[in-house]
Chain A
Amino acid sequence: MPRRFITAEDIRRAGSGELVVEPETVVTPQALEAAQASGVVLKGVNGTAYEQPSPDRGPDAVRAQHSLPLMPEPEGDEGGGTGVMVVVVGRNRTGVLAEITAVIAENGGNVRDVSQRSVEDYFHLVLTVGLEHAGQFKALKETLDCLGGDQDFVARVMHERVFRYMHRV
């Protein structure tokens, strides 16, 4: 097994010259400082310049990356893409629905389902929105979170997966 760490003490022992660092080895910040101070050059196994490796999370982690995606999910939409729930509560006025759906469309969202109710001046609106890929979620959420205001309406956006986990077995 390659050594786990290189410490400042290891650098002092090396004296000067080159020290080859295997890919799994973590070099401590103190060792990096000591190397710089004493002129010891850290090299990768191929003679390349040393780079801090990405963390080795252990043997179970490797297996987990295969088995995690196989764990059953609650029943859901098989259509692919990302489902998003948008809930809006606020004061009813002309054009409010158009304003919200326009923002959804601008962010690549396709409204799959709408439910709206009004009580006197107020409305609450539930939209199920489909996104083509998960990367669009953040922009949609940030835009909708900023929309409306205290006296107007408030929009909340949550991932469909949360609802599936909560309400479906």
Chain B
Amino acid sequence: MTFSDEEILETLRMVELETLDVRTTTLGINLLDCADPDLESTCEKVYAKIVHHGKDLVRVADSIAADYGVPIVNKRIAVTPISMVAAASGAYDLVPLARAMDAAAEEIGVDFIGGFSAYVYKGFSRSDEALFRSIPEALEVTKRVCASVALGTTKAGINMDAVAQYSELVLETARRTASTGGLGCAKLVCFMNPVEDNPFVAGAHMGIGEPETVINVGVSGPGAVRSALERLGPDTDLLAVYETIKRTAFKITRVGELVGREAARRMNTTFGIVDVSLAPTPAVGDSIADILELIGVEKAGAPGTTAALAMLTDAVKKGGAMASSCMGGLSGAFIPVSEDQGMIDAVAAGALSLAKLEAMTAVCSVGLDMVAVPGNTSAATLTGIIADELAIGMVNTKTTAVRIIPVPGKGPGEMVEWGGLLGTAIVQDPGAFSCELLHSRGGRIPAPLQSYKN
């Protein structure tokens, strides 16, 4: 097999200069068999099972990275929603389970474990209620545990009681982690139409239709797409831009497919999906906003941004779909504001408002992600922001999520530094008008007409 010099150099350039990497290799572990009438025994089983299955994950991922010369940045664990695992125990306080997950993650050397989760899109079980109540303390006392809750689906509508409760949880979590700028909220996300094979935290968890264990892979590569568009230059039309993005996404996804197959083989388990998401990092150049600007808007958030993002997301999906038969997870483009230097710049320049961001989420693959709001934002306003976002997902039969951080002690325009991959955020203004009545009414928004497809 021979390759041209151009092909060889292109691959090398993508890995060495354009930060192409496999962003995460996530091992999903089903914990339903850990259910026990006694919470302490449940914790023992959860710890034992995660360590039993996950102890080889880091070694295997590192060996693949070494053998193929492609970096695998994160190794993570996703587990069955804990509210289901804990239900048999009848416990009200599920923090011990979060501690068991945290200890297991530490033991096997992964930085995050997802699945402190519940599905409450139509109502609460006793165990769901216990999980909700435990989230703020769980996020305060653990380092690695991520929590996610499903508050709606297109088939079920939106559980507004749960949205209202979730808003209170977010405020409580921010208050408990005030010393780190409310960082506990970065490990907490809510979903419309949750993705049950999502390998990316904070929303990673293992849905109930999944196998006993599974390897899911998330690839990234905004840097590679950005460079390809830079080389293409401004003199081509949008179809050429689209084609360039699609081809680059194909190549990125193929690397994910290779790593996924190999990881499953070496772990003796099932290969689930490749999540083809352009996931930015605070590193310069690894930015979705930069791509949008290369497509043709002056700053992310300017008129035309939603159209450019819609095109980007679709081109990524088409390239990814050709490259892997098992494209899954969220797949598209992430727009986590604090984690993308171009987005931070756009907010600082006044180009990207919360309202525009919401419009963009209608066409991107996730939702309002890593958005900072003032610490004194009311629960009602949070409910409104979250319900708006969930409604977009409900009506468009797509996944949307909200990861919002009310930064204690900060007001609109102020900056907060979270450091590392979580980056820097400028606190955004949610506006002066309230939705107190909507918040206090409670109840459900029933399933939309779009859901009646039987």
Q: CB within 8 Å of B: which residues of A? A: 4-5, 7-9, 26-31, 52, 55-61, 64-65, 68-69, 71, 74-77, 83, 85, 87, 113, 115, 117, 126, 128, 134, 137-138, 141, 156-168
- Given A68-B265, A85-B3, A138-B67; A158-B48 close (CB under 8 Å): no
Interface of A is mostly: mixed
A-B contact pairs, 28 of them (CB 8 A): A5-B44, A9-B38, A26-B49, A26-B52, A29-B48, A29-B51, A55-B52, A55-B53, A55-B213, A57-B268, A58-B211, A58-B269, A59-B212, A60-B270, A61-B211, A61-B268, A61-B270, A115-B5, A134-B67, A138-B66, A141-B69, A159-B68, A160-B1, A162-B255, A166-B255, A167-B7, A167-B11, A167-B251
Question: Is B268 in contact with A161, judged by CB distance below 8 angstroms?
Answer: no
B166 at interface, CB cutoff 8 A: no
Q: B48's contact among A5, A87, A164, by CB below 8 Å, is which?
A: A5
B contact residues around A5 at 8 Å (CB): 33-34, 44-45, 48-49
Bound-state CA distance A71–B267 (Å) is: 17
Question: 6 closest pairs, A vs B, by CB?
Answer: A58-B212, A158-B69, A60-B211, A28-B48, A165-B254, A77-B1
Bound-state CA distance A168–B38 (Å) is: 54
Question: Is A156 in contact with B255, judged by CB distance below 8 angstroms?
Answer: no
| Residue of B8, B49, B70, B255 with most partner-chain A CB within 10 A | B8
Q: B7's contact among A60, A83, A163, by CB below 8 Å, is which?
A: A163
B contact residues around A162 at 8 Å (CB): 11, 68-70, 255, 258
Bound-state CA distance A138–B211 (Å) is: 33
Question: Is A156 in contact with B69, judged by CB distance below 8 angstroms?
Answer: yes
Bound-state CA distance A161–B38 (Å) is: 49
B36 at interface, CB cutoff 8 A: yes
B299 at interface, CB cutoff 8 A: no
Question: Is B255 in contact with A165, judged by CB distance below 8 angstroms?
Answer: yes
Question: Is A28 in contact with B1, judged by CB distance below 8 angstroms?
Answer: no
- Given A7-B44, A58-B212; A157-B8 close (CB under 8 Å): no
A contact residues around B454 at 8 Å (CB): none
State how many angstroms separate the Cβ of B15 from the closest Cβ of chain A: 8
B12 at interface, CB cutoff 8 A: yes
State how many angstroms separate the Cβ of A61 from the closest Cβ of chain B: 5
Question: Is B258 in contact with A165, judged by CB distance below 8 angstroms?
Answer: yes
Q: Which residue of B lies closest to A1 (CB)?
A: B33
- Given A156-B69, A157-B69, A161-B68; A26-B48 close (CB under 8 Å): yes
Q: Which residue of B lies closest to A60 (CB)?
A: B211
| Residue of A31, A52, A69, A159 with most partner-chain B CB within 10 A | A159
- Given A26-B52, A76-B1; A159-B269 close (CB under 8 Å): no
- Given A162-B70, A166-B255; A126-B1 close (CB under 8 Å): no
Question: Is A57 in contact with B5, judged by CB distance below 8 angstroms?
Answer: no
B264 at interface, CB cutoff 8 A: yes
State how many angstroms separate the Cβ of B371 from the closest Cβ of chain A: 35
B191 at interface, CB cutoff 8 A: no
Question: Is A65 in contact with B268, judged by CB distance below 8 angstroms?
Answer: yes
Bound-state CA distance A74–B258 (Å) is: 10
B243 at interface, CB cutoff 8 A: no
A contact residues around B51 at 8 Å (CB): 29
Question: Is A68 in contact with B9, judged by CB distance below 8 angstroms?
Answer: no
Question: Is A87 in contact with B212, judged by CB distance below 8 angstroms?
Answer: no
Question: Is A158 in contact with B1, judged by CB distance below 8 angstroms?
Answer: no
State how many angstroms separate the Cβ of B378 from the closest Cβ of chain A: 44
Bound-state CA distance A141–B257 (Å) is: 23
Interface string of B14-44 (1 = CB under 8 A from A): 0110000000000000100110101011001
Q: Which residue of A lies closest to B44 (CB)?
A: A28
Q: Which residue of B lies closest to A79 (CB)?
A: B1
Question: Is B267 in contact with A161, judged by CB distance below 8 angstroms?
Answer: no
State how many angstroms separate the Cβ of A35 from the closest Cβ of chain B: 13
- Given A162-B69, A166-B11; A60-B212 close (CB under 8 Å): yes
Question: Is A159 in contact with B67, judged by CB distance below 8 angstroms?
Answer: yes
Q: Which residue of A lies closest to B2 (CB)?
A: A113
State how many angstroms separate the Cβ of B201 from the closest Cβ of chain A: 22
State how many angstroms separate the Cβ of A140 from the closest Cβ of chain B: 11
Bound-state CA distance A128–B69 (Å) is: 15
B271 at interface, CB cutoff 8 A: yes
State how many angstroms separate the Cβ of B56 from the closest Cβ of chain A: 8
A contact residues around B251 at 8 Å (CB): 166-167
Question: Is A167 in contact with B270, judged by CB distance below 8 angstroms?
Answer: no
- Given contacts A8-B44, A61-B268, A167-B7, list 14 more A-B pairs with CB under 8 A: A4-B33, A5-B48, A31-B44, A55-B213, A57-B270, A58-B30, A58-B212, A60-B212, A61-B211, A126-B9, A163-B7, A165-B257, A166-B251, A166-B254
Bound-state CA distance A130–B353 (Å) is: 55
Question: Is B271 in contact with A9, judged by CB distance below 8 angstroms?
Answer: no
B47 at interface, CB cutoff 8 A: yes
Bound-state CA distance A163–B101 (Å) is: 38
- Given A4-B33, A158-B69, A159-B67; A57-B1 close (CB under 8 Å): no
Question: Is B3 in contact with A167, judged by CB distance below 8 angstroms?
Answer: yes
Interface string of B276-316 (1 = CB under 8 A from A): 00000000000000000000000000000000000000000
Bound-state CA distance A89–B51 (Å) is: 43
